[in-house]
Amino acid sequence: MKIVLQRVREASVFVGDREVGRIGRGLCLLVGVEKGDTGDDVETLARKAVELRIFPDAQDKMNLSVIDAGGAVLAVSQFTLAGSTARGRRPSFDNAEAPARAAELFDLFTAKVRERGLVVATGVFQAMMDVRLVNDGPVTFVLDSR
């Protein structure tokens, strides 16, 4: 499982002209599920994402988690994170999990984040989406359960 994590001032996701999710300050998480990912991968990255101390404290040091900062999470499934560009010019998505299993693990991921007391907005699984955000910092990390 891979996540591109961005600290944001605000973020939203649209399907067509319809807004389906919006948050203020918090994290925008682009979540890619790969073949072989398990509940352990989900638990590891859910914990890591929400406990990562990347929000500023009173001394402007990255010392607070999204929980400590009172933020929210926008989670968007993104199968292209499982893509490989190692050969040729067309990405291979052989390592992306099958849609039904990926949806199950993505839903488990958002449930695990919610269990930690955070508001979680999401996109629409397998839809073409527009993700809009204001990256705060900019602060961006790539998390990988492997």
Q: What one-character DSSP code corresponds to residue 146?
A: -
What are the catalytic residues? 78-80
- The residue to which tokens 């699984």 are assigned: 125
By the 8 A CB rule, do 125 and 77 touch? yes
For the chain, the maximum distance between any two Cα atoms, rounded to a whole number of angstroms, is 48
Q: Which residues contact 62 (CB under 8 A, 6 or more apart)?
A: 53, 54, 55, 56, 139
